Amino acid sequence: MSKFTPTSKANPCLSCSDTKGNCRHQDIEEIILCMSANSSRKGEIVESGYKVIDFTQDGLWAVLKLDNQQWAEE
């Protein structure tokens, strides 16, 4: 798995805007680990159009990916 960067003021969470380092960004593939979304269900669309694709093994973070399917659908 690629390296994840904790959120910060210069690098807020793209989904929940966290700046306290609770969430994590992956540099590529638009994957984020969001602590605010960890009570969501798999497949759910959360803030900013991100989709919950999985959860981390420890359950701390929801694994979010930008959901582009809504743009592909007519």
Minimum gap (Å) between residue 69 Cβ and Zn ion: 21
Q: What are the backbone angles phi and psi of residue 30, rounded to the nearest 5°?
A: 55, 30
Residue among 7 and 57 whose Cβ is closer to Zn ion: 7
List contacts with Zn ion (CB under 5 A). 13, 15-16, 18, 23, 34, 36
**In the complex with Zn ion, which residue's Cβ is closer, 34 or 63?**
34
DSSP characters over 9-72? TTB--TTT---SS-SEEESSTTEEEESTTTTSPTT-B-GGGEEEEEE-TTSS-EEEEE--HHHH
- Nearest to Zn ion of 17, 68 (CB atom): 17
Give the shortest CB-12-to-Zn ion separation in angstroms. 8
